[in-house]
């Protein structure tokens, strides 16, 4: 009787672990699939650094200027 109970407990534990592993795998795949390589603001995109909407005073009101969103390296004259 004890062996039967242990077998059932191991079977249930194994099923629960497989279910949890499957759930975590599906969750991870969905989380990764939901990622996209888009920028939240147009001025975060390095290709838009010189765009008109990313220059003051147009972007100052809503603080979407490039210098507010990312750290822009300053050009130095050598």
CA distance 16 to 23: 10
Per-residue confidence band for 22, with pLDDT thresholds at 50, 70 and 90: very high
pLDDT in tens, 23-33: 999 999 988 88
HSE, CB side, 13 Å, CA atoms: give it for residue 64.
Answer: 15
Helix (DSSP H) and strand (DSSP E) numbers for the chain: 2, 0
Single pTM value for the model: 0.42
**Residue 11 CB partners (closer than 8 Å, separation 6+):** none
Question: 65, 56 in Cβ contact below 8 A?
Answer: yes
pLDDT at residue 24 in the model: 94
């Amino acid at each position: 009787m004890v062996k039967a109970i242990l077998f059932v407990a191991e079977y249930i534990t194994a099923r629960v672990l497989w279910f949890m592993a499957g759930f975590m795998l599906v969750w991870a795949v969905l989380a990764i699939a939901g990622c996209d390589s888009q920028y939240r603001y147009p001025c975060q995109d390095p290709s838009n650094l010189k765009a008109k909407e990313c220059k003051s005073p147009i972007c100052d009101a809503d603080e979407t200027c490039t210098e507010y969103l990312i750290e822009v390296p300053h050009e130095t004259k050598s």
